[in-house]
Amino acid sequence: HPHHQPQRGSTWMSGFILGLQKVLPQPGRSRLVGWLAQSQIPVIRRSFIHVFAKAYDISLADAERKGLDDYHSFNDFFTRALADGARPLPAQHNALACPVDGTVSQIGRIQSDLLMQAKGHQYTLNSLAGTTGKGLEDGDFCTIYLAPSNYHRIHLPCDGTLVETRAIPGALFSVNGVTEAGIPGLFCRDERVVCRFDTEHGPMLLVLVGALIVASIETVWAGPASPYRKEIVTQHEQHFKRGDEIGRFLLGSTVICCFAKDAVTLAEHLDAGTSVRLGETVGSG
């Protein structure tokens, strides 16, 4: 699949991060990379942004701010906003809008409570989401991988009320095609936040899976801050409209959408390796 091929420059970035892993202990490594990513010191900010943009061939054509030097830090650049109108929502009221820009990694039916990770690897809904995923057995799911060059904010596929979140600490493996194929239960080992919404199509889960570097997930509502030190379940009652931003990745990663049995029909053109863009129709209720 396309996302299994390393992008140009990714070997340099992987080598850099792997090098850090060898010389720094995990907490120190994460703090250092976090500090560099947040730094507004011009030489650090410009170096990180320019090297990353060149390595991953990043286009700012759809971004609100068009120049590499228009960003205050690497994090500000990585979580850049889109220009108004860059990702229109579907015209049909019952259409599900794609929550992110990315590539479909897996899509299909939840077999009882089993989801497909990659060929030969499955994981359970319970190990992914705990009791926050109850009632979605035999439903449908879609896993979307975000490459480093993608827009990194996550939006809601349909109107919904956030009712519960479960913040789960993790081991923080890098998420890409290589590790997806190579680490059993990968998404159940990574830091993640499971978001459960009540919608007109029944319950829906959006699982935001973190990345290699900790402090990689932010949500628009108040809650535990990433990196998560322990599992925390929070009750909510917050309403969102289709297309509203619900969170962003500071580095990473993957979004897993789960719907209840027979609640939605996912678009037939979607398959592992299909590129998708925020706002495009990915199914209907």
Peptide bond into 227 cis (omega under 30): yes
User: What CA–CA distance (Å, rounded) separates 209 from 113?
Assistant: 19
- The DSSP string of 242-257 is TT-EEEEESS--EEEE
pLDDT of 82 over the 90 cut: yes
SS3 39: coil
The residue-averaged pLDDT of 2-13 equals 44
Catalytic residues: 101, 155, 253
Identity of the residue numbered 144: I
Reported as a single tens digit per residue, the pLDDT across 191-224 is: 889 999 999 999 999 999 886 555 578 999 988 8
Q: Which residue has the tokens 């949500």?
A: 219
Whole-number pLDDT of residue 161 = 98
Whole-number pLDDT of residue 13 = 52
